[in-house]
Amino acid sequence: MHKADLVAQSERSDKTAFLVITNRGPAEAQEISVLINGKPLKEFRAFVDDQEIRRVGPYSSFHYRMVFTSNMDMSFEVTINWSDDSGEQGIYQTTLTY
């Protein structure tokens, strides 16, 4: 079956933090939406990229750069929704901490 399998993880490189979305499945994920604490990613204060990714190929990933300040909560819930060729709606939820 052609199904995408998206997961999220936090990553740090020097002083830069990243939200990494990885497709571990053999199909392209389409119409991707990322929610942080139930709100669109673009509303999350630490999100600094200009655009959100809407598609990711099989066995691929992308990184969103995040900038946290001392008064921000370093733990948050991530929900990813997507579609793929299987016809089933994909969903993934986790809590990440930086």
pTM of the model: 0.90
How far apart CA 43 and CA 29 sit, in angstroms, is 22
> Which residue has better confidence, 27 or 12?
27
Domains of the chain, each with CATH number or no CATH: 6-97 (2.60.40.1230)
How far apart CA 37 and CA 59 sit, in angstroms, is 26
Nearest in space to 30 (alpha carbons), one of 6, 64, 49: 6
What does the mean pLDDT of the chain come to? 92
Confidence of residue 1 (pLDDT cuts 50, 70, 90): low
* Sequence-ordered list of residues with C-beta below 8 angstroms from that of 31, at least 6 positions apart, any chain: 54, 55, 81, 82, 83
Per-residue model confidence (pLDDT) at position 72: 82
pLDDT tens column, 14-47: 878 999 999 999 999 999 999 999 999 999 989 9
Confidence of residue 86 (pLDDT cuts 50, 70, 90): very high
